[in-house]
Amino acid sequence: MPDWFSRSIVDDKTTMLTEPFVHAYVRANIWHLRGRDADLLVDTGMGICPLAPEIETPQGKPLLVVATHIHLDHVGSLHEFPWRAGPRMSAEQFVSMDEAATYAYMFHDLEGAVSKLPAPGWKAADYKIPSAPLTRTLDEGDIVDLGDRQFRVLHLPGHSPDSIALFDEADGLFFSGDAIYDDTLIDDLPDSDRASYISSMRRLLDLPVRIGHGGHGPSFDGKRMREIAAAYLGRTGGI
């Protein structure tokens, strides 16, 4: 379906895609950043309709795809891309895409899962995520290099145990996944850990972010990110 995705031009190097007809709970941001030697795609949405045809890259230019964690709204189309990176700690689960890890089972019974059918006869109960073995695993401190910019991998658990983010230390560009975003933060999933989330939020208070692109919600600057982190810490007794 050609209009399944919406597309927003952020700047001359950055495009955000999302799935407007998917329930807001699993409507994630998909980020495409153009680099000199390679492009970067951060997260891949639900996989209900093919994502790869929507990502425009020059012929022969590598596209590095990073999954920030293994939840369904971030890995659904990962299998469509040949260069797949993600957290080392959940690498085995990317092979099986076990529903206990992805939470795909939650979508099966989600009321109003989609507001528009992607195809005649489509049913949320039939939703499955194909296996997508990682071709590269990422740990804290690893570098994702696009040639003209380098992103350091930060392990920021709490929302999920495997949550990672990408930080360009040279100019403060931050792809945060679900570690932090400007919307209701979710810390009550079966694999969430509030103590870890508190530690991650404390760490983010000192991160010199210029602009952050999260897994959900609008982008944010460093001041707003610190407000979000401080509010979470205040709400959970982490301060």
**pLDDT higher than 80, residue 239:** no
| Residue 43 to residue 175: CA distance in whole angstroms | 10
Quick check: is 150 in a domain? yes
One-character DSSP codes across 26-72: G---EEEEE-SS-EEEE-----SS--GGG----TT--EEEE-SS-SH
Quick check: is 1 in a domain? no
Write out pLDDT tens, residues 31-50. 999 999 999 999 999 999 99
Measure CA 180 to chain center.
11
3-state SS assignment for residue 73: helix
Band of the pLDDT at 188, cuts 50, 70, 90?
A: very high
- The CATH number of whichever domain residue 231 belongs to comes to 3.60.15.10
| Residue 112 to residue 116: CA distance in whole angstroms | 9
Mean per-residue pLDDT, 219-239:
94
Burial 221-231 (b: 16+ CB within 10 A, else e): ebeebbebbbe
Kindly state the helix (H) or strand (E) to which residue 223 belongs, with its residue range: helix 222-236
The confidence score (pLDDT) of residue 2 equals: 57
Write out pLDDT tens, residues 160-186. 999 999 999 999 999 999 999 999 999
Band of the pLDDT at 137, cuts 50, 70, 90?
A: very high
- How many Cβ atoms from other residues are within 10 Å of residue 136's Cβ? 15
Write out pLDDT tens, residues 3-33. 999 999 999 999 999 999 999 999 999 999 9
Quick check: is 95 in a domain? yes
The confidence score (pLDDT) of residue 25 equals: 94
Residue predicted with more confidence, 2 or 223: 223
Mean per-residue pLDDT, 59-67:
95
Mean per-residue pLDDT, 143-170:
98
**pLDDT higher than 60, residue 88:** yes
The confidence score (pLDDT) of residue 238 equals: 74
Quick check: is 14 in a domain? yes
Range of the domain at 55: 6-236
Band of the pLDDT at 148, cuts 50, 70, 90?
A: very high
Structural domains of the chain, count: 1
Mean per-residue pLDDT, 198-227:
97
